[in-house]
C-alpha cells in the first residue's frame, strides 16, 4: 500500500524537524546542512501526501453520505466525489513518481567543465555561448555561479572554462548536459557563407566533501606558479596560481582566476574532490551496471547528445529525439522545456523498471 511507504517518510520528516531545532545539531554545521537538505527534499513530497490523505478522508465521508436517506445529500455527495476521485488519482500518480529512488547527487552543488573540441576558433566561440547560456539559466533559477578557471581566446571564446553552480537541485537540472554538443552554423570568420560543424564537450561533476573522498596530505603535490592572461600586474607578478596533482590517480587540476593563492587553492581542491568522486562513481557504476550506456545522460563525453542548427533555428536532443525551433531563446538561457522533457523521459524509464 502506498500509505505505508509515505507514513514512514512522514515519520522521518517529523524526526528531521526535531533535529533541525536541536541546538546541538545546529552547532554542527555539516550535520545541520545534511539534515536541512534531506528535510527540503522531503518537504514537497510530505505536503502532497498530506493532501492525498485529506482527499482520501473526504472521499470516505462522501461514500457514507451516498447511503443517506436524504436524496439531496446523496446527489451532492455523488457530485463532489467525482472531482475528488480525479484529484486523488492525480495525487497518486505524483506520489508514485516521488517513490523513484532519487539520484544521490541531486542535492549536491556542481562543477561544470566546457572544452572546445573540433572546429578551432569556432568551437571556442561556441564554448563561450554555452557558458553564457548556462550562466543565464542559473540566474533565472537564482543559483550562484562561481568561475574556477578559464582559458579565453582573443575573439571572446574559450578553449576551456570551468565554473561552479550552487543552489537547490542543480545536479538534477544540469546532469543532462554531459556529453558532446555539436553546433552547425556559418562562422563569423567564414567569408563564403559555408556552414561549419564544430563540437564542444561538457562535463558536469557533483561537488564532493573531503570526507567522502578521503584524501591524505601525502597523496597531493601542490605547485605554485605565476598566473597568465588577464588580471593585472598583481596577478602576473606573484605566484598566486595553484596546480594540484593527486598522485594515486594522476588527476591534475589548476586555478589561477583569483588574486589570492589561498582562494585559488580552495577552488582547485573543490575541483579535485569532484573529479576523484566522479572517477570512483564511474568505477562503481561500471562494476554493477553493464547497461550504463543505455541510460539518458550517461556522462560519456564522446557521446553526441545535442545539435544546435543555426540555419534551421533548431536544437535537437538526440537521446530522446526531441527538437525545438527556439534556438535563440535556448541560448539565452531558456533551457526549461528541454530539461523538463529529459526529466520526464528519465522518470518514465525508472517507473518502467
Tell me the DSSP string of 4-17.
HHHHHHHHHHHHHH
Neighbours of 281 (CB within 10 A): 16
Correct CATH for 211-288 of 3.40.50.800, 3.40.50.620, 3.30.160.20, 3.40.50.720? 3.30.160.20
The pLDDT of 1-11, averaged and rounded, is 83
15, 180, 281, 292, 334 from 288: Cα distances, Å: 33, 25, 11, 9, 36
pLDDT in tens, 82-101: 888 888 888 888 888 777 77
**Cα–Cα distance measured from residue 207 to residue 55, given in angstroms and rounded to the nearest whole number:** 40
**pTM recorded for the entire structure:** 0.65
pLDDT in tens, 218-244: 888 988 887 765 444 444 556 788 899
pLDDT the model gives residue 298:
38
CATH topology of domain 2-98: Methane Monooxygenase Hydroxylase; Chain G, domain 1 (1.20.58)
Domain segments of the chain: what residues?
Answer: 2-98, 110-209+298-352, 211-288
Q: Among 142-151, 215-224, 310-319, name the one with the lowest average pLDDT.
A: 215-224
* pLDDT band of 259, cuts 50, 70, 90: confident
Neighbours of 119 (CB within 10 A): 19
The pLDDT of 296-314, averaged and rounded, is 72
pLDDT above 80: residue 169 = yes
pLDDT the model gives residue 237:
54
pLDDT in tens, 261-299: 888 888 888 888 888 888 877 776 665 444 333 333 333
Is the separation of the CB atoms in 311 and 333 below 8 Å?
no
The pLDDT of 318-340, averaged and rounded, is 94
Domain 110-209+298-352: give its CATH code.
Answer: 3.30.70.1660
* pLDDT band of 191, cuts 50, 70, 90: low
**Cα–Cα distance measured from residue 196 to residue 210, given in angstroms and rounded to the nearest whole number:** 43
Task: State the Cα angle at 300 between 299 and 301, rounded to 5°.
Answer: 100
Which residues of the chain form beta strands (DSSP E)? 110-116, 144-152, 158-166, 179-185, 196-206, 220-225, 241-246, 251-255, 304-309, 314-317, 322-324
What percentage of the chain carries pLDDT values higher than 70? 88
pLDDT above 90: residue 132 = yes
Amino acid at each position: 500500500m502506498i500509505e505505508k511507504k509515505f507514513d514512514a517518510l512522514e515519520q522521518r520528516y517529523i524526526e528531521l524537524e526535531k533535529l533541525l531545532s536541536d541546538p546541538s545539531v545546529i552547532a554542527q554545521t555539516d550535520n545541520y546542512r545534511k539534515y536541512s537538505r534531506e528535510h527540503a527534499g522531503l518537504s514537497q513530497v510530505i505536503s502532497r501526501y498530506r493532501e492525498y490523505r485529506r482527499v482520501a478522508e473526504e472521499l470516505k465521508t462522501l461514500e457514507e453520505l451516498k447511503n443517506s436517506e436524504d436524496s439531496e445529500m446523496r446527489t451532492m455527495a455523488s457530485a463532489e466525489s467525482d472531482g475528488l476521485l480525479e484529484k486523488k488519482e492525480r495525487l497518486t500518480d505524483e506520489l508514485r513518481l516521488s517513490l523513484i529512488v532519487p539520484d544521490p547527487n541531486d542535492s549536491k552543488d556542481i562543477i561544470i567543465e566546457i572544452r572546445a573540441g573540433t572546429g578551432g576558433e569556432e568551437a571556442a566561440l561556441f564554448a563561450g555561448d554555452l557558458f553564457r547560456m548556462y550562466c543565464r539559466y542559473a540566474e533565472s533559477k537564482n543559483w550562484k555561479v562561481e568561475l574556477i578557471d578559464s582559458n579565453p581566446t582573443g575573439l571572446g571564446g574559450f578553449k576551456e572554462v570551468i565554473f561552479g553552480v550552487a543552489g537547490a537541485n542543480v545536479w538534477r537540472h544540469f546532469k543532462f548536459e554531459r556529453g558532446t554538443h555539436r553546433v552547425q552554423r556559418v562562422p563569423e570568420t567564414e567569408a563564403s557563407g559555408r556552414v561549419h560543424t564544430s563540437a564542444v564537450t561538457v562535463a558536469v561533476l557533483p561537488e564532493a566533501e573531503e570526507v567522502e573522498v578521503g584524501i591524505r596530505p601525502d597523496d597531493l603535490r601542490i605547485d605554485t606558479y605565476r598566473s597568465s592572461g588577464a588580471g593585472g600586474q598583481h596577478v602576473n607578478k606573484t605566484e598566486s596560481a595553484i596546480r594540484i596533482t593527486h598522485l594515486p590517480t594522476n588527476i591534475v587540476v589548476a586555478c589561477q582566476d583569483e588574486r589570492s593563492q589561498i582562494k585559488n587553492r580552495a577552488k582547485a581542491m573543490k575541483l579535485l574532490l569532484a573529479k576523484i568522486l566522479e572517477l570512483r562513481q564511474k568505477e562503481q557504476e561500471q562494476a554493477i551496471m553493464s547497461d550504463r550506456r543505455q541510460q539518458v545522460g550517461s556522462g560519456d563525453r564522446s557521446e553526441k547528445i545535442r545539435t544546435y542548427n543555426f540555419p534551421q533555428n533548431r536544437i535537437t536532443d538526440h537521446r530522446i529525439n526531441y527538437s525545438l525551433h527556439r534556438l535563440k531563446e535556448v541560448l539565452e538561457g531558456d533551457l526549461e522545456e528541454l530539461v523538463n522533457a529529459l526529466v520526464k523521459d528519465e522518470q518514465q524509464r525508472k517507473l518502467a523498471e
